[in-house]
Structures are given as C-alpha cells and as structure tokens.
Structure 1
Amino acid sequence: MLNIADTLHRWCREARPFALATVVDIHGSAPLPAGTSVAVDMDGNAVGSISGGCVEGAVYELCRQVLKDGGAPQRAWFGYSDDDAFAVGLTCGGELEVLVQRVVPAAQSHLAAALAEVMSGRSTAVAQVVDGPEELIGRTLCVLGDVDVAHGTLDDGEVDRAVTAQAGALLRAGRTARVEVGGDADTCPERLSALVHVHAPRPRMLIFGAVDFAAALSRIGHFLGYQVTVCDARPVFATAARFPEADEVVVDWPHRYLERTEVDARTAICVLTHDAKFDIPLLQRALNLPVGYVGAMGSRRTHDERLHRLREVGVPEVQLARLRSPIGLDLGARTPEETAVSITAEIISHANHTTGLPLSHGTGPIHGPRVRSRSGGRTTPYEMVVHAGVGR
C-alpha cells in the first residue's frame, strides 16, 4: 500500500472511504512485488497498479463491489492465461493473490498517522493481516520510527506483541515481507499471517576516493535511490562542484569518517582510491561492519597486494572473503560510466544473491528469492544477515 501512500494520505485527510486491493502472495514470476496496491474511492477514482495492466480491470470491479457491499474483505487469485487473449490472467506466467478490503479512515486513525510518517520520509511499518481468523483479516497495526511500539490493534494481546516485534525487525532491515505468528498457546491458538509493509530511509552508498569513477558512480547511485556520500582526505578533489549528484561530500580520512558515520545491512561501501595508505585502514574497518557490500577498485595484482597487507594487520579470512575485488561485474567496462554500471550491477546482484549471468542463460522465474552462497552451497551467517536485510 505504501506505493500509493501520497494519494491514500490525502484520502485519509479528507475522511474519504476507499477500497484497497493489495498483492499479498506471489507464485512464480509476477510484474510487481507483494505489498503493491491499487485503491478505488467511492467516486470510482483509481490509483496504483498491481500487475502492469494484466488484471487491473478485474481488480477495479472487485474494489467497486467491496465498496458497495461494505462487507468482509475479499480475496482473489489471478494466474496464467493463454487460451483466451482477453481472459483475466497474467501473461508473465506467474500467480498472485489479491486481498481487497474497505478502509474507513475515521475508524483507522493509526493508518492515517502511518501514511503521514511515510510522507514525511520517516521509517514506518504497517502490518496487515492477510490470512488467519476471519475476524482479523484486513486489520492493521503500525510501528513508527525505531521503537517497537504499536499503533492500532489486531487482538489486543500476544498476537499484537508478536506482530509488533517482527514488524520492528523488518523495519530495521528495510524489508517488506510476510510473517507468521500464532499457532501455539503463548500467542494465539490460530495461526495468522501478516504482510508487513515497510518504508525505510534510502540505503546509503559510501564512495571513498574523489576520482572520475566516483563522479560517475555517484550519478548512478543517486539514480538507483541511494543516499550517496563521497569522501576523500584531499580537499582540492572532494568538492561539491565535482560531485553534484552526491548528497554529501566529506573531506576526511576515509577510515576516520567510517568510524563515526551510521551504516546498516543495506549500506554499500565502494573503495575507489587503490592507495594503500587510504585502503588498508579503511577496509580493516569496513570488513568488520554489518554492511551489505564492500568492494575495492584495482587490478588483480593490486588486489593480491591488498590482501597481503590486510592479513598483516590481522584481518581474518572470514572477513576477507566478503571483499568484492576487483570491484564490479565483468562487463568489459572501460569508461567511468561503464565502470559505474559494472559496480552497481554487482551491488544489485550481491544484494539479491543472484549469479549476475544473462537471464537467457537461466531457467525458471526471473523474479523471486534466490539465495546462493559464495561458499559453494552453504549460506554463511553473514550472508544470512545480508539476505534478511535486502529490500527496497
């Protein structure tokens, strides 16, 4: 639902009832992820998309029906269709489940508050019950900011506390996902499933080295939605004029800046200096942090020398295995712009645990989770943490 937060926020301010259709489950390939929504108001105005056009008409009519009836939430499955070019189905071959419910803003002030937080750019999670006891389907509770305190209620008991805890964890990771609670005496006799919609601040891209490659990387990083910082100890090179697409340009020794700035599991660190006096203390610190990606520029010879120096200062092998160097995917990149594409392609591939190979070389769905370990089939504890933190 947060994909249309601006319109929903306005409708809530106007106390305008609406029907909300949300993708709550996906099988195979689908155009848009779980959590994507369409909304329709009482006048028939629609906003959003859940399939890129395949099933929008059917979902719109279902929303109109739910608004008219004013009853319990409805769910519908849409799958692949090729027998009839005009049949309601997904031509991409996947299946998705859609939950449609009526929302009355006056009765759900906590949802309006959450949407206001999203519009202000603050961290917000909205947990929506999508499966379980009939009386709970469609109910929501919200977690605002960094504290696990719920606004709204599901059943005013252990279920609320369990969902709030899981929503808080997903909020810190910046990831929208489905969670399961209940099914035991300590929480709820009946198991329920909640889709936690997460809005988190932009992930950070820290670029060390005020070089031409950094200028190109800051542009594409900004385009991809990162909050970009360029850092270099040389004030003559680290200037806002040279890096207009960066959110921040810092003059400081790289390792010293990294020690005082905030990072998380979505942060990408790109070391472009290939100068030992900068690289070694910086990478010694970076490889010990729970960030999503650490890459360093340089030739294979530079990489070998860098590994030797890092071992000399005591960096353990398990941390050295995290270093992506030489940085980027093998695209044959030559120019700074091509190199920036190579680097960001590797960041995306690494975050999603994919091979980076052409899609034409693979089989199966092109969307969906694929967890692969660099250690050859076994997922390391760090990789498990990173996978849990993925998701923008």
Structure 2
Amino acid sequence: MLDVAEALHRWVEQGRACAVATVVAVDGSAPRPPGAALAVDDGGAAIGSVSGGCVEAAVYELCRQALEDGRTVVERFGHSDEDAFAAGLTCGGSIEVLVTPVRGEVLPAALAAAAAGEAAALARVVDGPPELLGAALLVRPDGSYEGGLGGGPALDRAAADEARALLDAGRTGTVRLGEDGGRCGRPLTLLVESSLPAPRLLVFGAVDVASALARVGRFLGYEVTVCDARPVFTTAARFPDAHDVVLAWPHRYLEAEADAGRLDARTVLCVLTHDPRFDVPLLERALRLPVAYVGAMGSRRTHADRERRLREAGVTEPELALLRSPIGLDLGARTPEETALSIGAEIVAHRRGGSGLPLTGTRTPLHHEVSPEAPAAPPARPAHDRCLKAAGT
C-alpha cells in the first residue's frame, strides 16, 4: 500500500472514500512483489497495480465491493489454463491480495508518513482469525507504535518488534506470530510494509553525463545530488533534475555527509570527473564507506592509472575490489543519455542481483528478489527542489 502512498494520501486529504488492494504473498513467477498496491476511490478512479495488468480488472471490482460493504478480504489469483479469457496470472504464478477500505486512523497516518518521506512500517494481519483480518499497527524507527492488531498488548509489542527489525533492514515481508504474540499457539501472519526516505545518488562531476544521470536517478526513485568544485559548471540551471547542486570539493562534501550520518547502505556514489585531483581523494574515502555502490568513469587506461594512485594512497586490494570501473554496463553507449542509461542499468543490476545479461536465451530468474515465505493458501481459483547550495572550496 505504501508504494502508492503519495497519491492515496491526497485522496484521503480530499475526503475521498477509497479502498486499496495490496499484494501480501507471491508464489512462483509474478510481476509485482509483496507490498504492490492498487487503490480505487468512490468515483471509480484507480492508481497503482498489483499484477502489471493480469488481474487488475478483477482486483478493481474487489476494491469497489469493499467500498460498498466495508469488508476486508484476502483473495488468491492464479494462472487459468482452462479459460484464457478469465482473469489469471498468465506468467504462471499466483498472488494473494488483501483488499480493505482505507478508514480509521492507522492507515491514513501510515500514508501521511510515507508521503512525507518519513521512516515507518505498517503491519497488518493478512492471515488469521477473520475478526482480526486487516487490523493494523504503525511502527516508528524508535519502536513506538499506534493502532492495534486486536489480540492484546503482548501481540502488539511482538509485532512492533518484528516490524521495526524489517524497517531497520529496509524490507517488506511477512512475519508469523502466535495470536498471543509468542511463537506458539494459533498463528497469525502479518504483512509488514517498510517505508523509508528515498535512497541517495551522489554524482560527482558537473559533466554532460551527470545531467543525464540525474534524470535517470530521479526516474529510478533516488534523491540526486550533483557535486563539483568548479563554479562555472556547477549550477542549478545545468542540472534541473537534481534535487541538490552543491559547489564544493567532492571529497570534502563526502566527508561532511558521512560525518553527519546522511549516507547509508542504500547510497550510490558515481564519480564522473575522471581527473586524479578529484578522483583519488574522493575514492580513497568512498571505498571505505558502508554504501551500496561506488562507480567511476574513465577509460581502462584511466582506470589502471587510478588504481595505481589509490594503492599509493593506501587503499587496500579488498577496498579496490568494491570499485565499479569503468562504470556502467556494456551497452555500446555513445551519447550522454546512453551512458547514463548504462550506469543506471548497472546500479539496478547491482541492487537487485541481476546478471546484466540479455534475458533472451538465458534461464536466469526474471525477478531476483526472494519473496518472504507465504502463508498456506487455498487452491488458486480463476479470477473473476532545493536550489544551489554554496560551499567553500
């Protein structure tokens, strides 16, 4: 549900009644992961997707029904071999979908938090006693929570602890608990959706590729910063798609961001300057940070020279092994836009565990993320910005 939080929050703010369907479990191949959502308002408007098109019409009708009767239900959709025109997952997998009206205080609060870019986790009962189905708990990073699952304080505390652990890991998934909050007894399954501020993409070097990469990064959902020490090139007008344009020596800016705790394990660093004056002091620091990805532009000759300089600066072999250089996948890119696409593709492949190989002729999985263990299910049925920030150089 939180993947459509911004638009759904606007509906709630406007006083529009709405219902939302959320993928809670996936079995086999399916287009969307747990947490993917489709929402419908009382005027018939729809946002989001649960299957990339396979079962959207059937889920849309379930949302309309939830708006009429106020009931929360879980439905399972699977591939239909008998009737090619029935709504089913033609990819051969199956999904379970929680359909619920958006009401009360917890769901609107979760939408508001996610729309504001705040860290929060939403835990909802997706399998268990019918009277608890859809009950929700909103959990903050400090462990505080609001709402309740209907099973008593012990269950709420246990669910909050599990949700906080998933939030800390930045994951969405399912959790099994006993109805009393323990690991035994009558089981409950919770879907925990984690919402975090957008991951950061730091682009060093105010070059033409940086402008295209800022556009790609924003499209991929990153908060993009472009940093360079040259005032002639480092202007907001040259990088309209960046959230921040910072005039500073790159290594000093990186140090300041690291010291302030504004970098994390999802942060991506792209060094496009291919100038030793900038690259070496910057990469010397970058390769020692616990970030997701560090890539550097340059020819293979530039890369070899850069590695030599970094070794002389004391960078170890394990640290050098973290450097993605030359940056990007081999797409035969020529233009800045094509080069930015190749860099973005490598970032996605690195993040999702992809091979970077063509899918044609390979047997690699289409979706590399492993879905959390799903609860036992009934048999599948055929479905009916900020501006330029000056800094010292």
TM-score using structure 2 length: 0.82
- What's 2:86 paired with? 87
1:52-73 superposed Cα distances (whole Å, 9 cap, x missing partner): 33323333444455566655x4
8 A contact 2:117–2:198 mirrored in 1: no
SS at match of 2:236: coil
Aligned partners of 1:38, 1:222: CA distance in 2, in Å?
23
Aligned partners of 1:151, 1:68: CA distance in 2, in Å?
27
- Of 165, 175, 182 in structure 2, the residue corresponding to residue 179 of structure 1 is 175
Cα gap change, 1:253/1:16 in structure 2, threshold over 3 Å: closer, same or farther? closer
The 5-angstrom pairing of residues 1-392 of structure 1 reads 1-6=1-6, 8-9=8-9, 12=12, 19-40=19-40, 47-65=47-65, 73-103=72-102, 105=103, 108-144=104-140, 146-154=141-149, 155-182=151-178, 186=182, 189-261=185-257, 262-363=262-363, 365-369=365-369
Cα gap change, 1:136/1:317 in structure 2, threshold over 3 Å: closer, same or farther? farther
Aligned partners of 1:289, 1:88: CA distance in 2, in Å?
48
8 A contact 1:328–1:346 mirrored in 2: yes
- What's 1:390 paired with? none
TM-score using structure 1 length: 0.82
Aligned partners of 2:363, 2:324: CA distance in 1, in Å?
26
Cα gap change, 1:188/1:102 in structure 2, threshold over 3 Å: closer, same or farther? farther
Opposite residue 86 of structure 2, the aligned amino acid is: A
SS at match of 1:21: strand
Cα gap change, 1:190/1:320 in structure 2, threshold over 3 Å: closer, same or farther? farther
Aligned partners of 1:300, 1:370: CA distance in 2, in Å?
35
RMSD: 2.9
- What's 2:374 paired with? none
Q: List gaps (5 residues or longer) in structure 2.
A: 372-393
8 A contact 2:201–2:268 mirrored in 1: yes
1:171-227 superposed Cα distances (whole Å, 9 cap, x missing partner): 344433333445998555344332222332222110111122212212222232221
1:90-145 superposed Cα distances (whole Å, 9 cap, x missing partner): 12222111223455x2xx3122222222333333321112224544332111124x
SS at match of 2:38: strand
8 A contact 2:154–2:181 mirrored in 1: no
8 A contact 2:123–2:138 mirrored in 1: yes
Aligned partners of 1:228, 1:119: CA distance in 2, in Å?
18
8 A contact 1:158–1:188 mirrored in 2: no
Aligned partners of 2:168, 2:363: CA distance in 1, in Å?
33
Aligned partners of 1:365, 1:55: CA distance in 2, in Å?
22
Aligned partners of 1:84, 1:134: CA distance in 2, in Å?
31
Cα gap change, 1:185/1:207 in structure 2, threshold over 3 Å: closer, same or farther? closer
Equivalent residues, number: 366
**Cα distance, 1:21 vs structure 2:** 2.5
Opposite residue 207 of structure 2, the aligned amino acid is: V
**Cα distance, 1:150 vs structure 2:** 0.9
Cα gap change, 1:349/1:7 in structure 2, threshold over 3 Å: closer, same or farther? closer
265-274 vs 214-223, which moves further: 214-223
8 A contact 2:158–2:181 mirrored in 1: no
Opposite residue 228 of structure 2, the aligned amino acid is: D
**Cα distance, 1:270 vs structure 2:** 0.3
Q: List gaps (5 residues or longer) in structure 1.
A: 372-392
SS at match of 1:263: coil
Percentage of identical aligned residues: 59
Cα gap change, 1:224/1:313 in structure 2, threshold over 3 Å: closer, same or farther? same
